[in-house]
């Protein structure tokens, strides 16, 4: 279970200090303000209204915000790195050769067009050769290694109750729609999406060679099987409780629970080490999958597996496959109008497949010691504020406070880049065969992850690549991680105003620290073990305060007629509120020691600049389709709620902008957990 602050729900990139790099993004954009709006009435409109008016969504995007500006600017820089690496020079190092050749293979659109579906020939032949359900175990092991998310997932993870060990983890998977609820919701838009999905699956079968009638029947078979898998799946809100996705079982116990599938053969075919037991995250799903193995027709399984193979490979096949894949997953689901240019997709593919090769080169060019020192100081200041915040909590008893402070004191910080790089030994990149190269990288990653089973935890490992514009808290390692990709404006301006920096990256640091104490993180102790270190009294007080926040955000709209799910987004909302609070506390300490150095700038006081810095990083326009989908599947609230929610709970914000108690930005019942 990895807790992340998903700023874009995508990967992003940071710019190298190259001479031809586009100009940097300003930490604060005065032109982005809507000065006609009243800050105490709608601070999001005040901080972002001007920006949103002048920044329409580009046709290849479903959302466009200041994060996207940063990501697009930085893709241009990574493009330069990859184009240099793709030159077929014999003196290239192994990392440059791998990533350069993958990028070159990806750019070769002509080769992809000539091959059509031919790159899938062997793996589809293996599916077609399935003679009985007993053969599913071997076939699924092969498909999972190739990146096809069919049937279920098998991975490695830390033991929730022994964070020093890595175990196997069996979990639900196998759906082509974004969430289990897409298969059951009866509103008009959900019914339309399901019909469009079936049409899309049929079109993909047509591209694989089926005639229209057969393709329609095959799409129906896929929908029947996936609906059964969805029925057995646990909903997203329930999955937020780690206790509901932790069920320790031996292989023998799993075989009794789900007897129709040959688990012994599957585990053997994956080549992963064996351990005495594994985590069966959702036992009801394992049972449901087993029942489906027994009841579904073999022909339906083969159809479903062909679909999963095609779906996982479609972006890297010929244009008709890539376009059809985009038409549903991009246009229909998210509202994007155009497929991204090929070079952008190839930059993203290289980061996904060989992120440490690319990240190493990127870090050499962009990550400086001065930025690390400043980030270390910022993190220390936010941690000190968080400590002070815990010590001052009126609702928590001394016993639980002591445990909370002990946990805070053991947080590990990772900043910029990993200390150890992956070597990708065994990955074979062929400039003349894109899909084979992609599958080689996928098999490497599957093998790498499964090989960790039964071994001690590698505490140096990173879950994100250095160019990623994101950050995360991992409760099982009790660590906060900030890739270099997020450590630039508008988040972090090394030479910029401290108040804006505290409002942006300072809030992010506080956000990640707060995750260690939100409704999920609080269930893990300082060592990363799932354990109850709360007194019953404090646990009840926490639940009461968390309920206030869940109710608050459930009142916000994600888009017209669609409310935010306050329970799904509870952890992120708690972290946003906590992040704003401790960042403001850090500013207070900074002002006390350097008041003359801060002062008024851009016509705003330091506190006003902090709140503006926080709000402006969330300036964003999004399509109605994207907003609707994210409201159902994303653990983060939409940008407007992420600004309005924390600030309307903040008496310091109200004071900074002279808001009256009756103003909309001042909640009569303010919610606060941390």
Return the active site residues: 512, 576
Residues in contact with 453: Cβ distance below 8 Å, sequence separation at least 6, in sequence order: 156, 166, 167, 168, 272, 273, 274, 275
Compute the distance between CA of residue 585 and CA of residue 591 in angstroms, rounded to an integer.
10
Q: Which of 167, 120, 132, 297 is nearest to 224 (CA)?
A: 297
Compute the distance between CA of residue 579 and CA of residue 558 in angstroms, rounded to an integer.
22
Q: Which of 6, 46, 4 is nearest to 638 (CA)?
A: 6
SS3 (DSSP) at 470? coil
C-alpha 505 chain-centroid distance:
18
CA distances from 106 to 46, 109, 344 (A): 43, 7, 10
Peptide bond into 219 cis (omega under 30): no
The structure tokens listed for 590 are 């900074």
The answer to whether 568 and 236 are in contact (CB under 8 A) is yes
The label of the residue with tokens 């207070």 reads 588
The structure tokens listed for 83 are 């184009």
Compute the distance between CA of residue 117 and CA of residue 119 in angstroms, rounded to an integer.
6
The answer to whether 155 and 147 are in contact (CB under 8 A) is no
The DSSP 8-state label assigned to residue 315 in this structure reads: G
> H/E element holding 482?
strand 479-483
Strands (E), 11-92: 63-65
């Amino acid at each position: 279970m990895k807790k992340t602050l998903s700023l874009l729900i995508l990967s992003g990139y940071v710019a190298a200090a190259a001479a031809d790099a586009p100009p940097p993004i300003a930490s604060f954009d005065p032109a982005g303000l809507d000065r006609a709006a009243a800050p105490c009435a709608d601070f999001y409109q005040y901080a972002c209204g001007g920006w949103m008016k002048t920044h329409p969504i580009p046709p290849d995007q479903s959302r466009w915000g200041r994060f996207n500006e940063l990501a697009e600017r930085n893709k241009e820089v990574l493009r330069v790195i990859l184009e240099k690496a793709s030159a077929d020079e014999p003196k290239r190092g192994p990392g440059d050769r791998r990533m350069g050749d993958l990028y070159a293979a990806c750019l070769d659109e002509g080769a992809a067009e000539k091959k059509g579906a031919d790159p899938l020939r062997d793996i589809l032949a293996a599916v077609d050769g399935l003679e009985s359900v007993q053969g599913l175990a071997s076939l699924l092991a092969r498909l999972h290694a190739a990146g096809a998310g069919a049937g279920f997932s098998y991975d490695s993870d830390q033991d929730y109750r022994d964070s020093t060990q890595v175990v196997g983890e069996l979990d639900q998977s196998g759906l082509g729609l974004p969430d289990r609820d897409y298969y059951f919701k009866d509103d008009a838009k959900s019914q339309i999406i399901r019909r469009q999905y079936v049409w899309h699956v049929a079109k993909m079968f047509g591209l694989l060679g089926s005639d229209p009638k057969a393709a329609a029947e095959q799409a129906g078979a896929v929908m029947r099987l996936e609906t059964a898998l969805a029925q057995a799946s646990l909903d997203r809100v329930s999955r937020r409780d780690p206790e509901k996705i932790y069920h320790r079982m031996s292989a023998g116990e799993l075989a009794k629970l789900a007897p129709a599938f040959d688990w012994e053969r599957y585990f053997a075919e994956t080549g992963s080490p064996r351990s005495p037991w594994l985590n069966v995250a959702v036992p009801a799903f394992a049972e449901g999958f087993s029942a489906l193995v027994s009841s579904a027709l073999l022909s339906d399984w083969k159809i479903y597996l062909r679909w999963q193979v095609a779906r996982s490979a479609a972006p890297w096949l010929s244009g008709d496959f890539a376009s059809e894949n985009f038409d549903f997953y991009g246009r229909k689901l998210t509202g994007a109008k155009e497929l991204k240019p090929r070079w952008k997709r190839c930059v993203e593919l290289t980061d996904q497949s060989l992120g440490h090769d690319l990240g190493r080169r990127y870090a050499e060019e962009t990550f400086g010691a001065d930025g690390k020192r400043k980030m270390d100081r910022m993190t220390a200041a936010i941690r000190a504020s968080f400590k002070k915040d815990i010590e001052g909590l009126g609702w928590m008893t001394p016993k639980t406070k002591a445990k909370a402070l002990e946990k805070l004191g053991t947080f590990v910080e990772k900043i910029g880049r990993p200390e150890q790089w992956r070597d990708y030994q065994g990955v074979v990149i062929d400039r003349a065969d894109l899909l084979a190269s992609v599958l080689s990288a996928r098999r490497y990653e599957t093998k790498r992850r499964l090989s960790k089973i039964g071994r001690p935890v590698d505490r140096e490992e990173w879950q994100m690549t250095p160019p990623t514009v994101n950050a995360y808290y991992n409760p099982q390692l009790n660590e906060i991680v900030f890739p270099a990709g997020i450590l630039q404006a508008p988040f972090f301006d090394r030479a910029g105003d401290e108040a804006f920096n505290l409002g942006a990256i300072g809030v992010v640091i506080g956000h990640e620290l707060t995750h260690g104490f939100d409704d999920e993180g609080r269930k893990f102790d300082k060592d990363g073990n799932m354990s109850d270190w709360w007194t019953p009294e404090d646990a009840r007080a926490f639940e009461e305060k968390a309920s206030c926040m869940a109710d608050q955000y459930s009142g916000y709209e994600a888009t017209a007629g669609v409310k935010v799910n306050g329970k799904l987004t509870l952890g992120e909302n708690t972290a946003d509120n906590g992040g704003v609070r401790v960042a403001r506390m850090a500013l207070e300490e900074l002002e006390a020691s350097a008041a003359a150095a801060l002062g008024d700038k851009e016509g705003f006081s330091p506190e006003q600049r902090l709140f503006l810095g926080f709000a402006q990083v969330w300036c964003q326009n999004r399509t109605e389709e994207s907003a609707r989908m994210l409201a159902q599947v994303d653990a983060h609230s939409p940008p407007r709620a992420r600004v309005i929610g924390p600030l309307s709970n903040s008496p310091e914000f109200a004071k900074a902008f002279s808001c009256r108690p009756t103003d909309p930005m001042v909640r009569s019942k303010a919610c606060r957990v941390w």
